[in-house]
Amino acid sequence: MSLPTTKRVNSAMLQNCIGETVRFVGEFKSRQHPVATFLASDKGSVTVVMNDTSQYGTKFVEVIGTVNPDRSITEMISTNFGDDFNMETYDAMVRKAQKFPSVF
């Protein structure tokens, strides 16, 4: 599968990424077909539109997908991120990475 470049985002950044493909790591909260709800690293709530491959096996999941105008994410592929992922540090990293477009 060939993926475009994807920025790591938290919930606050979704507003500026409409139409883009992003990388989102969230804490899985619930699912109600066809959508699932996640808690983002900045504590915002994010809705993910699932696809056939969506299976969230651990507490934290990384979802790669496109951002819809309503700031939900339509999933392309997801990866389990384990049960002990540190969201605070991750959020700090995501925000810092924003400032270095030459690297990220």
* Cα-based distances in Å from 54 to 11, 33, 36, 86: 20, 11, 10, 22
Q: How far is the CB of 32 from other proteins (least distance, A)?
A: 25
Residue 70 vs 84, nearer CB to other proteins: 84
Q: How far is the CB of 54 from other proteins (least distance, A)?
A: 13
Q: How far is the CB of 12 from other proteins (least distance, A)?
A: 18
Binding site for other proteins (CB under 8 A): 1-3, 5-8, 23, 60, 62, 77, 79, 81-82, 84-86, 89-90, 93, 96-97, 100, 102-104
Residue 70 vs 100, nearer CB to other proteins: 100
- What token pair was written down for 75? 């999933």
Asked whether 64 and 3 are in contact (CB, 8 A), the reply is: yes
- Count Cβ atoms below 10 Å from residue 104 Cβ, excluding itself: 13
- Helical spans, DSSP H, in 1-104: 87-97
Residue 34 vs 88, nearer CB to other proteins: 88
Residue 18 vs 77, nearer CB to other proteins: 77
* Region of 102 on the Ramachandran plot (φ > 0 left; ψ -120 to 50 alpha; else beta): alpha
